[in-house]
Structure 1
């Protein structure tokens, strides 16, 4: 409960209970301080420092040449250029005709899938009729032999 209180994860009931216990037990305050010091020490020991160039970039003075209404035409503009035409040698390019070829192949696949399902059910229907006729023929033959 002490750790959750120090980290600020304790519920309001636990916070009020901890406040009451701190009033009653003075030794709990030293334990609470020890846990806080341990958390601070661990957080600094495990900390990852940012790269130095990030610090230098953040501390550089801002170039407000873009905000200057008339006097700063010779100064460099304060913006980043983003290339919207990527370098062709880093990407695989596909000719536009392949889009239509793949679309046609996909549609043909769907069409033939539909046909195969359709003819499968037709075949089952014809097979059931054939079995029915065969059953009726056998019943008629057995009736004539009696």
Structure 2
């Protein structure tokens, strides 16, 4: 049982990457052997703790900004054109915001950049083209090396013929 638990199948299952056959086998083992069930529960608890420790909390005033945007969408004047509103200090009066105030500034500790989904295809195409060009470069390098070897052999043969 220890060997089965240490095989990594529990981790694969918890991550959601197990095949249907592996899931069936694990469910059978879990029902039959309480140590497998206990190890699975412990692994799930550990993963939940890890996810909780790695979670990034949003800035403290983010909920108020989101709530203000939702309120602005609800109280728009022209249903065809969405209009942004901002609450005044007392919270009851709404006024239109200027175009530069229509974006919510977000503070983040992450250095990752988010891109529009259409750019993913562009990056995928560039990646594939890069691999194709790499393949051609390797091919022509090997061809050049082989040609140079043949040229050296021909030069050697010509020298030997001249000596005779």
Which bracket does the TM-score occupy, shorter chain normalised? 0.3 to 0.5
Structure whose alpha-carbon radius of gyration is higher: 1
TM-score by length of 2: 0.41
